[in-house]
Amino acid sequence: MNKLAYILISIIVTTGVLLAEFDKVTIISISGQVKVRQGLDENWTPAGEGMQLKPVDTILSEEDAQAVIEIPGKGRFVLGENSMLDIGDLRDISEKEMFLFLMSQKVQKMSPHDGNKELKIGNVSVVHGEDRGKPGVTEGDRQDSRWEREKNGAEALLQHEYYTNAVVKLTNILLRYPGINDCGEVHYFLGKAFEALNKKGQAVDAYREVLNAKDCESASARKWHAEAQMAIEKLK
């Protein structure tokens, strides 16, 4: 069996593992406006304390809102304001599964031997319908808002030390929103997740992408740039 075939088989097996269901999670408390979306339904409904959510569901917190979720066997998870998270993003992901997911992205970019068709591999993330926008809100506005909320959800994973989950979530964000100039923010968090996992090479690669960010003069961008530079020097 050649190397590519082995990778493809591993990806198929791993995708099944990543999508495998785990026990329902329970919303312990909420403050402000928190919504949930069940399965592939495009409609958001108000969340309530005691509500149980499945891996295919999504939770969303608006500005100045917060939700506390109880995960069986893992404790509580706090989702801060203006954040969106698929409940499936909280599943257990081993470093091996994370590595195979990352390899799947590399394989997806490879051209097949005949050079005519692009190799297609299904995304491991739960796929939902797009958010329904309000009148007068452009598609670009909706994409920016959704990106910000997903990024905040990924940051929550990082803060709760779900490092492998954060890597998968952040990588999916980069794939889903290739046109957004975030001044290196996603790569900065990706570098921190890899660094926490002691994956020095991947961490350095992510931090270098932060340094490559263009047209970014905000205080936050300068902070990410400076910390990425220091991290690269430390990890060399």
- Pick out the chain residues at pLDDT < 50: 1, 6-21, 113-115, 117-127, 129-130, 132-139
Are 61 and 67 in contact by the 8 Å Cβ rule? The answer is yes
Tens of pLDDT along 32-52? Answer: 999 999 988 889 999 999 999
With respect to residue 120, please indicate whether it lies within any of the assigned structural domains: no
Nearest to 109 by CA among 161, 153, 174, 60: 174
Amino acid, res. 105: Q
Tens of pLDDT along 179-222? Answer: 888 999 999 999 999 999 999 999 999 999 999 998 888 999 99
Give the domain extent around 155.
Answer: 138-236
Same domain, 147 and 86: no
With respect to residue 82, please indicate whether it lies within any of the assigned structural domains: yes
How far is 3 from 196, CA to CA, in rounded Å?
Answer: 29
pTM score? 0.80
Same domain, 84 and 152: no
Same domain, 142 and 233: yes
